[in-house]
Amino acid sequence: MKEFRTHLMVCGGTGCVSNNAFKIKEALEREIKKLDLEDEVLVVMTGCNGFCAQGPIMVVQPDGVFYQMLTEKDIPHLVEEHLLKGRPVKKLMYTPSEKKKPIPKMSDIGFFSKQRLIALRNRGLVDPEKIDEYIAREGYKALAKALTLMSPEEIIKEIKDSGLRGRGGAGFPTGRKWELARNAPGEQKYIVCNADEGDPGAFMDRSVIEADPHSVLEGMIIGARAIGTFHGFIYIRNEYPLALERLIKAIEQAREYGLLGEKIFGSDFDFDITVHRGAGAFVCGEETALMACIEGRVGRPRPRPPYPAEKGLWGKPTNINNVETWANIPLIILRGSKWFSEIGTQTSKGTKVFSLVGKINNTGLLEVPMGITLREIIYDIGGGIPGGKRFKAVQTGGPSGGCIPAELIDLHVDYEELTKVGSMMGSGGMVVMDETTCMVDVAKYFITFCMDESCGQCTPCREGIERMLDILTEICEGKGKEGDIELLEELAYAIVDGSLCGLGGTASNPVLTTIRYFRDEYEAHIKEKRCPAHVCKALIQYFIDEEKCNGCGLCLKQCPVDAVIGELKEPHSIDQAKCSKCGICYESCKFEAVRVE
């Protein structure tokens, strides 16, 4: 294999690709050829690097120099200066908002501090479309060990001893789940990878598949050997075209190398995988609805028991785990359960992948040890809140997760601790909110999502969520009344108790936690007809302070409904009858003369 002195690792995750990462790669290759550096420098398109806010990203290896927010125009200068003359280009490096000095090395950037990579171990290091690069980093070594040196029972014991819990939401012990499926009667069984990720702001599973699809395949093959099945399915939403493309390529390569199909590694073990594309219904992430889709039926949940391990696909025992869970399996088998169980907390072992989005400086994908605090994630990794604003809350666990307030910022992140405060781990979404966020409006947003995505099969979910949304809408429109908060709580608990599946069973979390921790905001909306965060249009008004206004006319020019009145160089005012409360006057004023009440 040809050796190169430098590898340019260009992030090829969806975020960077949407910002022309493929064109960056082409521009790099053109300049390298132009300067006759083809024998020294290799351009590699990797999966998601993780630091999504700074894309397109390129890391120069082996030095680890980190370049961000690249454009095609930057490439000629960068290649000539860094790769030809050996002078790294500082203006293209990452510079934190609180510092003026750029940080050359990726390892020194705060976003990457405190991360520990297991599921994301190969992110930014391999070309996800080349199986040889995965194999070069111990890929399929765990499979060889599992097939040649371990019995199915020993594989399951190793997973049980590791303490790995399902990363898709509920956190059920993975090894126990496998054991139930293996011990279920019947010769024909199935395994499934749930890659149906529909949470707003979540992109964990997509990024794992885009960056390292073979880690998922290897985990599934090991799981199939342990459970005793010859056929598996990967259910992935069709809205993930790049992940789907790389997944299909990885399966084809694995078959070509004899890692899928008949007599894998020369053993008597046969196993293959079918990819099933989902149409985007959020409820199909629920395992019984997902199985219905694979069978060709309408994706609706069914009552449990029987559980999938007893009666799943086509009535046969079926084991379902999500992408991140499968990606953890190879390293547990390769390095041992003791190694994995020493990471994390007593009840939540290993690491967890999170997507960090919202009012946060460093948007991106991160993997951290279980037990890390919210403060470390939001400030040390996330870089804090933009504009120096105050941190208010973070929602974990997707649209049906809970909102955790600022006073609990030192909470340790694991399954039990999140549940105690009314939230949950979920699949790993984290949405950060600042002081400009209205918590009643947040509850309304997530309840709207859950109502739209409800399959409508059971009455508590179908009718209860819609009634909750009606009440929240009335509160946000200034029509709230005494007793609405208590009625919301009563409805929330009824929906939890009576719903058929996890969507309805957790849909009330945003409402219950915002009432629990931000009841004063609900009361301000209802009793004072006031939105403290100045978000709900029906409860706010814009005014111009005559003492601060110098009559520059900027707000007058920007107003789309001609509600701003005044002469040039004279104090202006706002006609409240015309004002649409769009906020453009507030945003455009450079003298802080516009205020919101």
Q: Give dist(CA 35, CA 208) in Å, integer.
A: 35
What is the per-residue pLDDT for 200? 77
Are the beta carbons of 527 and 521 closer than 8 angstroms?
no
Chain centre to alpha carbon of residue 592: 36
Spell out, as residue ranges, where the chain has pLDDT lower than 50: none
Residue 98 included in any domain: yes
- Virtual CA dihedral for 365, 367, 372, 376, nearest 10 degrees? -40
Q: Give dist(CA 141, CA 137) in Å, integer.
A: 9
Q: Give dist(CA 103, CA 450) in Å, integer.
A: 42
Number of CB atoms found within 10 A of residue 529's CB = 13
Q: What is the CATH number for 398?
A: 3.10.20.600
Residues 460 and 500 in one domain: yes
> Model confidence over 500-532: pLDDT tens digits?
887 888 889 999 999 999 999 999 999 999 999
**Token pair of 468 as six digits:** 């909750």
Long-range contacts made by residues 93-98, C-beta under 8 angstroms, separation at least 24? 93/65, 93/66, 93/67, 93/68, 94/51, 94/54, 94/66, 94/68, 96/383, 97/361, 97/383, 97/386
In total, the chain counts a number of residues equal to 597
Q: Is the pTM of this model over 0.95?
A: no
Residues 473 and 501 in one domain: yes
Exposed (0-12), middle (13-18) or buried (19+): which is 314, by Cβ within 10 Å?
exposed
**Token pair of 519 as six digits:** 């009841």
Give the residue from 434, 460, 490 where a domain finishes: 434
What is the per-residue pLDDT for 458? 87
Residue 1 included in any domain: no
> Model confidence over 212-266: pLDDT tens digits?
999 999 999 999 999 999 999 999 988 899 999 999 999 999 999 999 999 998 8
Give the residue from 434, 449, 471 where a domain finishes: 434
Q: What is the CATH number for 564?
A: 3.30.70.20
Q: What is the CATH number for 267?
A: 3.40.50.11540
Are the beta carbons of 247 and 159 closer than 8 angstroms?
no
Residues 190 and 294 in one domain: yes
Strands 190-195 and 231-237: parallel
Residues 386 and 273 in one domain: no
Q: What is the CATH number for 81?
A: 3.40.30.10
What is the per-residue pLDDT for 99? 67
Q: Which domain holds residue 482?
A: 439-527
Are the beta carbons of 233 and 193 closer than 8 angstroms?
yes
Amino acid at 182: R
What is the secondary structure of 529-561 as a DSSP string?
Answer: ---TTS--GGG--EEE-TTT-----HHHHH-TT
Residue 207 included in any domain: yes
What is the per-residue pLDDT for 498? 87
What is the per-residue pLDDT for 1? 58
Q: From 321, 340, 342, 333, select the one nearest 155 (Cα to Cα).
A: 333
Residues 311 and 172 in one domain: yes
Residue 116 included in any domain: no
Residues 363 and 473 in one domain: no
DSSP 140: T
Residue 176 included in any domain: yes
Cis peptide upstream of residue 305 (ω within 30 degrees of 0) = yes
Amino acid at 574: I
Residue 119 included in any domain: no
What is the per-residue pLDDT for 98? 65
Give the residue from 392, 412, 434 where a domain finishes: 434
Residues 199 and 323 in one domain: yes
Residues 61 and 139 in one domain: no
Residues 79 and 190 in one domain: no
Residues 368 and 483 in one domain: no
Residue 448 included in any domain: yes
Residues 293 and 221 in one domain: yes
Structurally, the chain folds into a number of domains equal to: 5
What is the per-residue pLDDT for 209? 96
Residue 399 included in any domain: yes
Are the beta carbons of 365 and 357 closer than 8 angstroms?
no
Q: Give dist(CA 539, CA 561) in Å, integer.
A: 19
> Model confidence over 426-448: pLDDT tens digits?
878 899 999 999 999 999 999 99
Residues 170 and 281 in one domain: yes
Q: Give dist(CA 593, CA 236) in Å, integer.
A: 51
